[in-house]
Amino acid sequence: MVYVRVSLVLLSVLLLALLTGRWLLVLLLAALAALVWDWVNLWRLEHWLRLARKLDPPKSVGLWGEVLDGLHRMRKRSRDRDKRRRNVVRNYRDSVKAMPDATVVLTGDYEVEWCNQAARDLLGLRWPQDEGQRISNIVRHPEFVTFLAQHTREARMISLPSPVDGRLWLEVRLVPFAKKRHLLLARDTTALRRLETMRSDFVANVSHELRTPLTVIYGVSETLGQELGEDPEYARSVQLLQEQAERMKILVDDLLLLARLETGGAPRDRQWIDVPQLLTVLVEEGRLLSGYRQHQITMEAEPGLMVLGNEKELRSAFANLLANAINYTPDGGQINLNWSSEASGAHFRIRDTGIGIGAQHIDRLTERFYRVDPGRSKSRGGTGLGLAIVKHVLMRHGAQLTIESEPGKGSLFICSFPPRILRHAGANPKRASA
C-alpha cells in the first residue's frame, strides 16, 4: 500500500513537470514538500515520545504512518511488560510484607535496604528512618554483633532474645544473595523454646524422682547379692536384678547430666586443664576397661597444650569417646588418642580399628538414644546417650565434634577446640607418649 502511494506521488510530480515543462521548479518544490512533510512528522514524533503521556501516536499516513504504528505497538508491548513486572514485584512485596517472619534486605556492609512489618515488630526496626543504618546499630546484642562479624558466604543461624521484648526468642538467619547482598530472616521461636524447656524439665524431673527409689533398689540388690549370691535357686535372679538396677542408675545419671548440660550456659567452673595429663589417666582407665579384650591403646599428646574448660565435663566427654572405641572395636583392636594443635585450634582425635559406622547413620549419632545396632549397644551397657553428652559438652566449650567412619574399617572422632581457649603451659616442643 505504502509503495503504491509513493509511486502515485512520484508519478504525479513527473506528470506535472511534463505538463508544465518546468522540471527544475517542480522537482525542487516536490523535494521541499517532502522535506517539510518529514520534518513535521519528525517533530510530532519527538513531541509524542518526549512529552505526550497518551499511548496513541500522532496520526499520519504513508511511510510515517507505518513507522508511528510500529512504534506504537512497541511502546504498548513495553508498557504491558512493565505493568506485568510491576505487578509481580508488588505481589512479591505484599506477600513478604504479610509474612509473620521478619525480613530485612541488607547491603554488603549490612546496611538496611528494606524491611517488612514483622521486622519492625520483632527486631525493632523503624521504617523508613532506619534505611541505610547498619543493622548492628539497631540489633545490638553482643552475640549478634559477633555473628555478623564472621564474614562468610554461607547461610548461618543464631538464637537471640528480641531487642523489642526480652521474653521473645528469635531464630535469626543470614542468607547471602545476589552480589554482596544479605537477607536477614528472623522468626519467633518462643513457643518452641518453651516446649523444649518443658521437655527437658520433664526429663530432668522424672530422672530426679527416679533417683531415690533406684538408689534403694540398687542398695537392696547389693544386700541380696551378698545374702543370696551363693544360693543356686536365687543367684541368677539376684544377679539380673543387680545388673538392671545398675543399668537404670547409669541411665538416670546420664539423663540428669544431659539435662544439666542442656539448660546451663557456658560451664561455670572453668580452669586451665592439662589435657596430656588427663589423657594419660584416661588411657590407664581404658586399659582396665578393655581388660581381657586386650585392645592396643596408644596416645600422643602435645606437651603442655592446655584448654580452658570444665574438667569434669571434658573428662566425661573424652571418657565416653574412649569407652565407645573400646565397646565397638573387636578384641585386640587398636585405639589411638591424639591431642595436638595448629593455627586453627587444637584437636582431640580418637581413632579405632573397630566395626565402623555407615554414612547414613553419622549425622544422627549425637541424637539421644540413637544407636546403629541397639542390641549390640545394650549388651555392652550403652545408654545411647554418650555421644549426645559429648556433643553438648563440646558445644558449651565452643568446640565441635566431627565423625569420620567406614563400616568394617574403623572410626575417627575429632573434637576441635577454638584457639581462644587454648594455651601452652611450657615451651618444650617434645611430644609425650604412652
Work out whether 317 is an interface residue with ligand ADP (CB under 6 A): no
Rounded CA-CA distance 293/331 in Å is: 5
Helices (H), 150-293: 190-228, 235-263, 275-290
- Sign for the pseudo-dihedral over CA of 26, 29, 31, 34: negative
Rounded CA-CA distance 230/302 in Å is: 50
In the complex, minimum distance from the CB of residue 117 to ligand ADP, in angstroms, rounded to a whole number: 44
In the complex, minimum distance from the CB of residue 382 to ligand ADP, in angstroms, rounded to a whole number: 2
Phi and psi dihedrals of 390, rounded to 5?
-55, -50
Which three cell numbers, joined as nine digits, stand for 329?
Answer: 572395636
The residue from 121, 222, 373, 404 that contacts ligand ADP (CB under 6 A) is 373
Residues 367/392, Cβ–Cβ less than 8 Å = no
Q: In what order do the strands lie in the sheet with 422-424?
A: 271-274, 305-309, 422-424
82 versus 406: smaller Cβ distance to ligand ADP: 406
Work out whether 372 is an interface residue with ligand ADP (CB under 6 A): yes
Site track for ligand ADP across 94-123, x = CB under 6 A: ------------------------------
Work out whether 384 is an interface residue with ligand ADP (CB under 6 A): yes
Work out whether 286 is an interface residue with ligand ADP (CB under 6 A): no
303 versus 382: smaller Cβ distance to ligand ADP: 382
241 versus 325: smaller Cβ distance to ligand ADP: 325
The residue from 162, 242, 324, 353 that contacts ligand ADP (CB under 6 A) is 324
Site track for ligand ADP across 326-365, x = CB under 6 A: --x-----------------------x-xxxx-------x
304 versus 356: smaller Cβ distance to ligand ADP: 356
In 3-state terms, what secondary structure has residue 430? coil
Give, to the nearest 10 degrees, the angle between helix 386-396 and helix 311-327: 150
Residue positions counted in the chain: 434
CB under 6 A: which stretch of 116-124, 190-198, 369-377, 414-422 binds ligand ADP? 369-377
Which three cell numbers, joined as nine digits, stand for 378?
Answer: 545394650
Rounded CA-CA distance 256/259 in Å is: 5
60 versus 338: smaller Cβ distance to ligand ADP: 338
In the complex, minimum distance from the CB of residue 244 to ligand ADP, in angstroms, rounded to a whole number: 16
In the complex, minimum distance from the CB of residue 298 to ligand ADP, in angstroms, rounded to a whole number: 16
Work out whether 383 is an interface residue with ligand ADP (CB under 6 A): yes
The residue from 255, 387, 399, 421 that contacts ligand ADP (CB under 6 A) is 387
Give, to the nearest 10 degrees, the angle between helix 62-98 and helix 23-50: 10
Q: Which amino acid is at 308?
A: L
In the complex, minimum distance from the CB of residue 305 to ligand ADP, in angstroms, rounded to a whole number: 24
108 versus 374: smaller Cβ distance to ligand ADP: 374
Count of residues that interact with ligand ADP, criterion CB under 6 A: 23
Work out whether 193 is an interface residue with ligand ADP (CB under 6 A): no
Residues 333/295, Cβ–Cβ less than 8 Å = yes
The residue from 103, 246, 371, 418 that contacts ligand ADP (CB under 6 A) is 371
Rounded CA-CA distance 359/329 in Å is: 18
Rounded CA-CA distance 410/404 in Å is: 9
Q: Which amino acid is at 244?
A: Q
41 versus 320: smaller Cβ distance to ligand ADP: 320
Work out whether 322 is an interface residue with ligand ADP (CB under 6 A): no
104 versus 357: smaller Cβ distance to ligand ADP: 357
Report the 3 state secondary structure along 275-322.
HHHHHHHHHHHHHHHHHHHCCEEEEEECCCEEEEECHHHHHHHHHHHH
List of residues contacting ligand ADP (CB under 6 A): 320, 324-325, 328, 352, 354-357, 365, 370-373, 377, 382-388, 411
